[in-house]
Amino acid sequence: MLEAIRRSPRLQRLLLIGPAVAIVVVFMLLPLGLMAYVSFLERGQYGGVIWDQYTVEAYVGFFFERDFLDNLVVNTDYVSIYLRSFLLSLLTTVIALAVGFPVALYIALQPPSRRKLLVFLVTIPFWTNLLVRNYAWILLLRTNGLIDQWAQGLGLTDQSISILYTPAAIAIGLTYSYLPFMVLPIYASLEKLDFRLVEAAYDLYATRLQALRRVVVPLSLPGIAAGCTLVFIPCLGAYVTPELLGGSKELMIGNLIQLQFGASRNWPLGSALAFTLLAFVLLAMLVYLLRFRKLPE
């Protein structure tokens, strides 16, 4: 047996890679498949599912609900939550790009030792607890919170401002949570950029802004695309931020899904919502991979 392993590199490889792949396949791929399966099942009377009753009711439930006469009536609740999630994610991505690009550019133009430190400082918050970081914003944003206190102290306003539990609060929290994901990939592509190309642009009469637009941005496009993808995707599936900063009215997809497994006890709908979210995410990934992974360096 041992001799057989020793003789066969393929067997060795199988034994080495096997466990990790098995764990992910059994406890992630399989559950995802199961989830897709459940989304096509009839919901049970008191939660759960009825195993042999197949239906697309969950997907129909996206757009319609049944009134007491069992007629389908258009229901925009879920669609509007999806729409809100998309818009908030898009807004967050745009803000993150607007802030992240100059930051990445600044860091990329620092001397190497300084660069390393700054990159480290950008990554740190990623490794700290998301829940806690969003909680900190409650302290800042709530009525009589710190921002409110400062604004009143500075005389900017004489009545208390309440940002918490608004879409703005969600946008702030999401941007805060995922901004480093924008900075790092853009930095990575800017760092590789040969600055002599920028000099060449200056030499050929391009001003700073033109050099930026014609040379720096096009050449860091793969990084920009990666950053946008990396911010947009987790925003779309965000749960903690809208839960803490959005309150009960400003739901996003993540909260809607959670509700189906909590209070609403509608597993098929929850699964269908989750599966649709996954489809969107994979689509976004696919678009990114097809469009940007094959560009020349």
Partner 1 sequence: MDIRRFPGTRFATWVFFLYLYLPIVILIALSFNENRSATIWTGFTTDWYVQVMNNGDILNAAKNSLIVALWATVIATCAATFAALGMARRRFKGQTAVSGVLAMPLVVPEIVTAVASLLFFILVGFDLGLLTVVVAHTVFCIPFAYLPIRARIEGMDPRLGEAAADLYADEMRTFLRVTLPLLWPGILAGAMLAFIISLDDFVITYFVAGAGATTLPVYIFGAIRIGISPEVNAISSLMLIVSLLFVSLSTLLTWWAGRRGAA
Partner 2 sequence: MMEASTLAPAADAPTSAAAPKDARIVIENAVKVYASAGEAPVRALDDVSIRIAPNEFFTLLGPSGCGKTTLLRTIAGFEQPTSGRVVLDGVDITGQPPFRRPINTVFQNYALFPHMTVAHNVAFGLEKSGLGKDEIAARVDEMLALVHLSGMHRRMPAQLSGGQQQRVALARALAPHPKVLLLDEPLSALDLKLRKGMQIELKRLQRDTGITFVFVTHDQEEALTMSDRIAVMKDGKVLQIGPPQEIYQRPQVRFVADFIGETNFLKGRLEPGGVARIGEAAVPLASAQGHAEGETVTLAVRPERVFLHPGEAASPDTLGATVENIIYFGTDTTYHLRVDGLPDPLVARVQNRDQSSPTFGQGARVRVGFPPDGLSVLRD
CB count within 10 Å of CB 65 equals 14
Distance in Å, CB of 224 to partner 1, minimum: 15
The footprint of partner 2 on residues 168-197 (CB under 8 A) is 194, 196-197
Residue whose C-alpha is closest to residue 122's, from 172, 174, 183? 183
Place of tokens 């689509």: 283
State the minimum distance, in angstroms, from the CB of residue 63 to partner 1.
21
Residue bearing tokens 């909260």? 255
Binding flags for partner 1, 138-177, as an x/- string (CB under 8 A):
xxx-x-xxx--x--------------------------x-
**Which residues are within 8 A (CB) of 181 and not within 5 positions of it... i.e. 6 or more apart?**
96, 126, 227, 230, 231, 234
Question: In angstroms, what is the minimal distance from the CB of 274 to partner 1?
Answer: 5
What crossing angle do the helices spanning 221-236 and 77-108 adopt, rounded to 10°?
Answer: 140
Nearer CB in complex with partner 1: 64/247: 247
Measured from the CB of residue 295, what is the shortest distance to partner 1 in angstroms?
19
Beta bridge partners of 155: none
Q: Are 262 and 213 in contact (CB under 8 A)?
A: no
Q: Which of partner 1, partner 2, none interacts with 296 (beta carbon under 5 to 8 A by kind)?
A: partner 2
Exactly one of 282, 283, 287, 295 binds partner 1 (CB under 8 A); which one?
282
HEC string for 1-25: CHHHHHHCHHHHHHHHHHHHHHHHH
Contact between 43 and 269 (Cβ < 8 Å)? yes
Q: Which does 5 bind (CB under 5 to 8 A by kind): partner 2, partner 1, none?
A: none
User: Which residues, numbered 240-279, are part of the site for partner 1 (CB under 8 A)?
Assistant: 240, 244, 253-254, 257-258, 261, 267, 270-271, 274-275, 277-278
- Residue 200 as a binder of partner 1 (CB under 8 A): the answer is no
Output the CA–CA distances (angstroms, integers) from residue 213 to 29, 221, 287, in the order listed.
Answer: 43, 11, 23
Task: Assess contact for 228 and 186: CB atoms under 8 A.
Answer: no
Q: Is 113 in the site for partner 2 (CB under 8 A)?
A: no
**Residue whose C-alpha is closest to residue 212's, from 229, 226, 227, 193:** 193
Q: Which residues inside 46-105 make contact with partner 2, applying CB under 8 A?
A: none
Minimum separation from the CB atom of position 206 to partner 2 (A): 6
Q: What residue 219 binds from partner 1, partner 2, none (CB within 5 to 8 A, per partner kind)?
A: partner 2
Of residues 104-133, those binding partner 1 (CB under 8 A): 105-107, 109, 116, 118, 120-125, 127-133
For partner 1, the binding residue among 58, 97, 171, 179 (CB under 8 A) is 179
Residues that bind partner 2 (CB under 8 A): 194, 196-197, 199-207, 214-215, 218-219, 296-297
